[in-house]
Amino acid sequence: MSLINDIRFYEYRMMIEHSSAVDRLRLLLAEVRRERPAFRVFVLTGAGISRESGLATFRDAGGLWERYPIEEVATPEAYQRNPALVHKFYNLRRRDALAAEPNAAHRALHELGRALGERLTLVTQNVDDLHERAGSIDVVHMHGELRKLRCVGSGHVTEWARDADCDTRCPHCNSAVRPHIVWFGEIPMEMSRIERALDEADVFCAIGTSGTVYPAAGFISDFKRCGGVAIEVNPEPTGGPFDVRLVGPASTQVPLLVQELTRTAVE
């Protein structure tokens, strides 16, 4: 077979795989809708959705993370040892995040929130504010937020969109502040709310995050214990126990997913 034929065959196979995933999604959601018209949705987003807006993570080669090893900037010990360096690193990440723009996946999830209201729980591992800037409200940032600082004395959290340094003080008690970020070795935020939402959810969506590693892997096994439809959106399927896999970039697959989730008619 010639190379062109190989490519055509591959494209054809991808097309079949893709359309059958959407058909499957439609069928499973119709079932959920019949059983529970006020079904609840849990969405977990990860690095993949921000990467499409140009934001790199430590898993990507190159960029900031290569110049700043994790153990020197993203642990509590690092902050104790060299708070100036830690602030400098997060200043760069904050600037990057502020310069990035939300993409079609962020916007689609905002639409989903408007359609479902409190029936949607949107949890993100990302520390940027792209969900908020696309319009989403009440986003659960389990790994913290670049746009916030936390007082090391009182724990008070302050909105912060500029650079910070060792002279930046808590406006309430004048103590030093640290990035409001969950570092390696620290416990993620809002875990009890996340567990409750997983318990109540009928549909689980993992977007741009691996279904085989923490936290998505843990969340999906919790979710699967109660039954329900689990959906993965990723450029490469990651192998977790999902019922439907939408393979492709989040910016094209999430609008499609949201369209199916917000369908009102039962077919």
Residue ranges that bind Zn ion, judged by CB under 5 A: 151, 153-154, 156, 170, 172-173, 175
Q: What separation in angstroms does the CA of 169 have from each of 54, 93, 156, 231?
A: 31, 20, 11, 43
Closest CB to Zn ion among residues 22, 157? 157
Nearer to Zn ion, 149 or 216 (CB): 149
Q: Which amino acid is at 14?
A: M
Q: Return the number of the residue (14 or 173) whose C-beta is nearest Zn ion.
A: 173
Sign of dihedral through CA atoms 129, 132, 133, 136?
A: positive
DSSP E strand boundaries for 15-109? 41-45
Maximum Cα–Cα distance for the chain, whole Å? Answer: 72
Q: How far is the CB of 103 from Zn ion (least distance, A)?
A: 36
Residue closer to Zn ion by CB (options 177, 194) is 177
Shortest separation between residue 108's beta carbon and Zn ion, angstroms: 38
**Closer by beta carbon to Zn ion, 70 or else 173:** 173
Cis previous bond, 215, omega within 30: yes
**Which residues touch 179 (CB under 8 Å, ≥6 apart)?**
86, 87, 90, 144, 146, 148, 149, 150, 164
Q: Which residues contact 9 (CB under 8 A, 6 or more apart)?
A: 1
Beta bridge partners of 120: 41
By the 8 A CB rule, do 40 and 121 touch? yes
- Min dist CB 170 to Zn ion, Å, is 3
Which of 87, 143, 156, 180 is an active site residue?
143
**53 CB neighbour count, 10 Å cutoff:** 22
Q: Please say if 141 is a catalytic residue.
A: no
Q: Give the residue numbers annotated as catalytic, written as ranges.
A: 143
